[in-house]
Amino acid sequence: EREKEEAEKRKAEEAEKKRAHEQECVDETLDESFPASDPPSWTGTHAGDSHDQGGGRKK
């Protein structure tokens, strides 16, 4: 029983080390890519004045 618990503990520690390493890789990639020389590829989908929704009455 004790050996099983120790094996599970080692497995959990290894999984945590792997997760931490993966997070470090992501963080390093983000650090190296900032500031980006190109603007983000995302653009808004709404054209025109954001306050004009077209549903109100005009006097």
pLDDT digit string, tens, across residues 9-47? 999 999 999 999 999 999 998 888 877 666 656 666 766
Give strand ranges (E) for the chain.
none
What single-letter amino acid sits at 43? T
Within-domain flag for 2: yes
Within-domain flag for 8: yes
Within-domain flag for 3: yes
What single-letter amino acid sits at 14? E
**Can you give the residue range of the structural domain that contains 6?**
1-32
Within-domain flag for 52: no
User: What is the Cα–Cα distance from 25 to 13, expressed in whole angstroms?
Assistant: 18
Within-domain flag for 39: no
Within-domain flag for 16: yes
Within-domain flag for 22: yes
- Check: pTM over 0.85? Answer yes or no: no
Q: How many domains does the chain have?
A: 1
